[in-house]
Amino acid sequence: MVKRDTILFGVLDAFPHDQINAENTPTLWSLAQEGGWAPGGGRAILAASTYPNHATFVTGDDPSRHLIYTNRSWAGGEPRPAEEVGPATSTLFDECRAAGRKSLAFFGDQNLVGVCGAEKADEHWPPRGVLPDDAAKGALGYGADRAVIEGLDGMDLADAELVFFQLDEVDTARHLHGPHGDEVLEQCRATDAALGEVLERFRSRWERTLLIVVSDHDHEAVDRGAVDLAAEVRAKGLNLRVDHEGTAALVAGETSRSELLALTGVEDAALLAPGFHLVWGPPGQQYGFDWGLAAQHGSPRTMSQLAVAAGGHPAAAKIAREIGAAPPHATSWANRVRAFLDLGDGSEPRASGSGARS
């Protein structure tokens, strides 16, 4: 029997890229020493939020193609929960299935099953994006790292060629306690240990394995209250739709930079695609509603991503050199996976509704 190569693609949600050291994160530190890392971090796509960046990780596309601009998809012109729609372009799971390559996916944030189109993997967890009643959960209701490892242990790992996973708990800790501090450091240690447990399941095939570990976004403190941009746009009678997204907001519709900069609580704006701007305000300000969280993300100030490459496969050394030399962009990872698994050139539009669970 042919022994297959394996690519492990792990996302440590919101893991701070600059907290890798021998004392606190021995797993990541030893991986960075064995392979390599981006010491200054990689770069997220905007909005610097969980679902847009995960959709980018699995498609290689930016939101103008996969249409998950915020934690909602704008496919069809109306915002809908991204987990109900999935990316508008083909994912690594679609492409593995078409090529007859076995893929597995498991997530702490249960919504990522739908966001990433991971129902198309050979196995995924949690089933159909619903956490089992007995699964351990974090304070914000997502699967705890321990539950994710139990989900992994229910899978048949033999001959898996793509293994994609996400550990959520650092994101929850930073939202609740702030971008940095003792509680966050403690959670970083725990998630680093959980990563080590995941990797133990693959050590017997390490010489045939390429490991990529990234995070999706950083965090920033929010201590200046919230601006309800949707209410202001309504009050001014502007024909625009606003989608609040942490420390950024998506503005959909025909507008101009000068019109956006005239709004209260808007300091800068970026055009993501025709008819879609992202705006953000001064440090400390969030949009929409003050959820009582200590930290949020979404703005360009939270675009740093952890990036580590390791493993015994020869491709690991090449990628480690690349990310050490230049900050990797979120869009670059899917094509590295495609090259490793010989999946072709890039994503294509998906058949309508192929990602929908609803």
- Please choose, out of 5-13, 26-34, 138-146, 232-240, the segment that lies near Zn ion by the rule CB under 5 A: 5-13
Start-to-end CA span in the chain (Å): 40
| Position 83 contacts Zn ion (CB under 5 A) | no
Q: Are strands 42-43 and 304-305 parallel, antiparallel or unpaired?
A: antiparallel
DSSP string, 173-205: HHHHH-SSSHHHHHHHHHHHHHHHHHHHTTGGG
Q: How far apart are CA 213 and CA 195, in angstroms?
A: 9
Site string for Zn ion, 153-192 (x = CB under 5 A): ------------------x---------------------
Q: Report, in Å, the least distance between residue 51 CB and Zn ion.
A: 8
* Structure token pair of residue 202: 């693959």
Residue placing its CB nearer to Zn ion in the complex, 89 or 305: 305
Q: Which residue is nearest to Zn ion (CB)?
A: 50
Q: Which of 8, 9, 13, 90 binds Zn ion (CB under 5 A)?
A: 13
Chain positions 195 to 224 lying near Zn ion, rule: CB under 5 A, are: 216
Residue placing its CB nearer to Zn ion in the complex, 108 or 328: 108
β partners of residue 271: 277
DSSP string, 69-90: -SSEE-GGGS-EEHHHH--SB-
Residue placing its CB nearer to Zn ion in the complex, 90 or 302: 302
Q: Report, in Å, the least distance between residue 53 CB and Zn ion.
A: 7
* Structure token pair of residue 16: 């701070």
Q: How would you write 221-274 as a 3-class SS string?
A: ECCCCEECHHHHHHHCCCCCEEEEECCEEEEECCCCHHHHHCCCCCCEEEEEEC
Q: Are strands 241-245 and 248-252 parallel, antiparallel or unpaired?
A: antiparallel
Count of residues near Zn ion by CB under 5 A: 5
Torsion of CA 157, 137, 299, 93, to 10 degrees: 20
Q: Report, in Å, the least distance between residue 213 CB and Zn ion.
A: 14
Site string for Zn ion, 90-129 (x = CB under 5 A): ----------------------------------------
Residue placing its CB nearer to Zn ion in the complex, 210 or 222: 222
Q: Which of 25, 27, 50, 172 binds Zn ion (CB under 5 A)?
A: 50
Q: Report, in Å, the least distance between residue 254 CB and Zn ion.
A: 31
Q: Report, in Å, the least distance between residue 66 CB and Zn ion.
A: 16
Q: Report, in Å, the least distance between residue 82 CB and Zn ion.
A: 12
Name the nearest CA neighbour of 230 among 212, 199, 252, 211.
252
Site of interaction with Zn ion (CB under 5 A): 13-14, 50, 171, 216
